[in-house]
């Protein structure tokens, strides 16, 4: 059965230029004794927006592995797929992120819900999970509500898994279940019953991405109570360990932190708690590689700087359309976005400083960063020119990509 390493990192690369620089960061971490599985991920939405195909991600990953002589595990993720979108990924992917967000809250068959509730009756009342100080208290009405909210989603995860397994063979791919891009977080007790549901529908889930408390906006830092996050994260670790033993789920099951890129203020908690309990994690860095490309082009100056300034100007015009698909994972204060006139006067360093994620830098603007994050379609609309600029300034851009993954993410998460 295919398994991830203890640590794994999902690396998006929307325009397929940065595979070598992304992998270079993991090569450097391996020199410090950390085996991290790279997982190149790209969603159906991103493929559709850019006009690429899943095989392009496989080709990029294979080429980077060959170029850098990588001998360890690596994967290609069919990111945020479901029954409707999985088919195009079958041949090229060996990691499938089954996104059940669209199924949450939908009603399934009443008989199945009743059977599940009956199978969980022993947990009605109070029960304890080792490692969590306070016991869980669950009423029948609460269990019914959880089943009504998540059982159909778990069933659809099962249907999607079966479809993939029929095409690829059981044990020949990694299975992740994602439910993070929804308005409301799942509590640890809800996660416990969700895992019971996934076991019921025979989904051998190896990583699970719940929505945590607080805001996990794209490409910017965590917004919320850090102590509350740490308590919830540790409880989730303990819930997973207990669920593995109780429901027979894969022993390697671990937490996946989606939209986890750049959540620097909670990286200490993630590192300390996973090390405390001997656990790993899967971190998905989402679209930050695209942001580093824009930063690199800004630093290159000249026509490259003009290009990214034009992207920003167009993004301001199209802001509602660009933001709509990401409404649950962005939070932009339009009043704090610089005007086109202001940006037109910026130097290459001004633009890079406003976009680069160094929160205490006086020029950093998290609103601009989120807008540019979702504006990659505007580069795709000029794909030939954009590709030419990336090739012309490959080293400048690539070094930004490397620095972002190694210095800002891996060093913090693993104390390298």
CA distance 141 to 144: 5
Give this prediction's pTM: 0.96
pLDDT band at 210 (very low <50, low <70, confident <90, very high): very high
CA distance 271 to 286: 19
Question: What distance lies between CA 94 and its chain's CA centroid?
Answer: 17
The domain spans of the chain are 7-287, 289-407
CA pseudo-torsion sign 319, 369, 269, 250: positive
CA pseudo-torsion sign 235, 240, 243, 245: negative
pLDDT digits (tens, 9 = 90+) for 6-42: 999 999 999 999 999 999 999 999 999 999 999 999 9
pLDDT digits (tens, 9 = 90+) for 288-303: 999 999 999 999 999 9
Query: What CATH number has the domain spanning 7-287?
Result: 3.20.20
List alpha helices for 169-216, DSSP H.
188-200
pLDDT digits (tens, 9 = 90+) for 35-56: 999 999 999 999 999 999 999 9
pLDDT digits (tens, 9 = 90+) for 87-141: 999 999 999 999 999 999 998 899 999 999 999 999 999 999 999 999 999 999 9
Beta carbons of 123 and 196 less than 8 angstroms apart: no
């Amino acid at each position: 059965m295919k398994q991830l390493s203890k640590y794994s990192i999902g690396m998006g690369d929307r325009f397929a230029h940065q595979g070598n620089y992304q992998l270079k960061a993991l090569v450097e971490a391996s020199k410090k004794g950390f085996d991290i599985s790279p997982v190149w991920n790209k969603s159906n939405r991103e493929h559709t927006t850019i006009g690429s195909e899943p095989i392009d991600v496989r080709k990029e990953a294979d080429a980077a592995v060959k170029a850098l002589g990588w001998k360890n595990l690596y994967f290609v993720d069919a990111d945020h797929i479901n029954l409707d979108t999985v088919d195009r990924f079958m041949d090229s992917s060996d990691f499938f992120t089954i996104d059940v967000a669209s199924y949450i809250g939908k009603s399934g068959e009443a008989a199945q819900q009743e059977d599940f509730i009956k199978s969980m009756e022993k947990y009605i009342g109070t029960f304890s999970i080792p490692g969590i100080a306070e016991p869980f208290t669950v009423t029948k009405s609460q269990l019914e509500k959880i089943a009504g909210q998540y059982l159909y989603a778990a069933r659809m995860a099962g249907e999607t898994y079966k479809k993939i397994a029929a095409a690829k063979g059981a044990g020949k791919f990694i299975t992740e279940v994602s439910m993070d891009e929804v308005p409301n977080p799942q509590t640890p007790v809800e996660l416990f019953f969700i895992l019971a549901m996934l076991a019921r529908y025979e989904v051998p889930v190896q990583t699970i991405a719940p929505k945590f408390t607080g805001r996990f906006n794209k490409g910017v830092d965590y917004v919320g109570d850090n102590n509350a996050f740490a308590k919830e994260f540790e409880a989730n670790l303990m819930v997973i360990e207990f669920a593995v033993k109780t429901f027979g789920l894969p022993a390697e099951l671990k937490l996946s932190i989606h939209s986890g890129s750049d959540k620097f203020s909670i990286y200490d908690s993630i590192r300390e708690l996973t090390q405390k309990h001997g656990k790993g994690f899967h971190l998905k860095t989402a679209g930050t590689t695209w942001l580093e490309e824009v930063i690199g082009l800004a630093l290159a100056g000249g026509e490259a700087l003009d290009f990214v300034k034009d992207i920003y100007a167009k993004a301001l015009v199209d802001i509602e359309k660009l933001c709509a698909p990401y409404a649950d994972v962005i939070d932009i204060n339009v009043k704090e976005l610089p005007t086109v006139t202001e940006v037109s006067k910026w130097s290459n360093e001004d633009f890079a400083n406003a976009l680069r994620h160094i929160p205490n830098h006086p020029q950093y603007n998290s609103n601009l960063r989120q807008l540019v994050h979702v504006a990659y379609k505007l580069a795709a609309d000029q794909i030939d020119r954009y590709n030419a600029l990336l090739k012309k300034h490959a080293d400048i851009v690539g070094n930004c990509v490397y620095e972002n993954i190694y210095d800002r993410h891996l060093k913090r998460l693993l104390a390298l």
